[in-house]
Amino acid sequence: MMTASLDATFSALADPTRRAILARLAKGEATVNELVSPFKLSQPAISKHLKVLEKAGLITRGRDAQKRPCRIAAEPLAAANGWLEGYRKIWEANFDRLDNLLDELKAETNKL
């Protein structure tokens, strides 16, 4: 992925409301109206956030002129953080600490 589009992805993700919208869309598509009530924002405010997300390629919108349902687009997110790699790092750090803990527990058991 080009760095320029990664920049767009990350500036779109820098806003907590937009991240929350993405988290909502991760559960399934939604129309603007369906996003208005949970976020307690005006329809124009939601539309503005959606435009940023769409421009960054993080969501796609249906063609239905009335509803234009929004869906999350997985690829830019995946490219943005190599998220599997991020995931792996979190677990690697956890399990390295678990190794140390297990060593301590084994040493304690041997003492008994």
Partner 1 sequence: MRNVLKVTTPTDREIVITREFNAPRELVWDSMSKPELLKRWITGPPGWEMTVCEEDARVGGTFRWAWTGPDGAEMAMSGVYHEIAPPERCVRTERFEVGCVPGGGEQLATLILTEKGETTSLTLTLRYDSKEARDGAAASGMERGMAAGYDRLDEILEAAAV
Query: Residue 96 CB, nearest distance to partner 1 (Å)?
Result: 7
**CB 73 within 8 Å of CB 60:** yes
CA distance 66 to 110: 70
**CB 35 within 8 Å of CB 24:** yes
The single residue among 37, 84, 110, 111 that binds partner 1, judged by CB under 8 A, is: 84
Residue with Cβ nearer partner 1 (42 or 78):
78
**CB 70 within 8 Å of CB 50:** yes
Query: Residue 7 CB, nearest distance to partner 1 (Å)?
Result: 9
Interacting residue ranges for partner 1, rule: CB under 8 A: 1, 3, 6, 10, 13-14, 16, 19-20, 22-28, 71-72, 74, 77-88, 90-92, 94-103, 105-106, 109
